[in-house]
Amino acid sequence: MPWHSAAEFLAMGGYAGYVWGSVGACALAMTLEPWLLHRRRRRVLRELRRLRAAAPVQTSVSRRITARRRQTA
């Protein structure tokens, strides 16, 4: 362990601003990017669901299901 105290660790031998600035910038960027992606995904899903609710499209599966319902009814 190259450090004797927490203060010494934080001071980084006088390079605190440079070292923690670099590590902090990476940590910030690598937290923001996944967060923004998560928001984009939610926005896209919401939009697609809204479009689908507005104009329900018959898929081959849903068509088969309605056909079977009609048969059994």
Interface with another protein includes 41 (CB under 8 A)?
A: yes
Q: What is the 3-state secondary structure (H, E, C) of the chain?
A: CCCCCHHHHHHHHHCHHHHHHHHHHHHHHHHHHHHHHHHHHHHHHHHHHHHHHHCCCCCHHHHHHHHHHHHHC
> Which is closer to another protein, CB of 11 or CB of 73?
11
CB of 71 to another protein, least distance (A): 23
| Interface of this chain with another protein, residues 44 to 63, rule: CB under 8 A | 44-45, 48-49, 51-52, 57, 59-61
Interface with another protein includes 10 (CB under 8 A)?
A: no
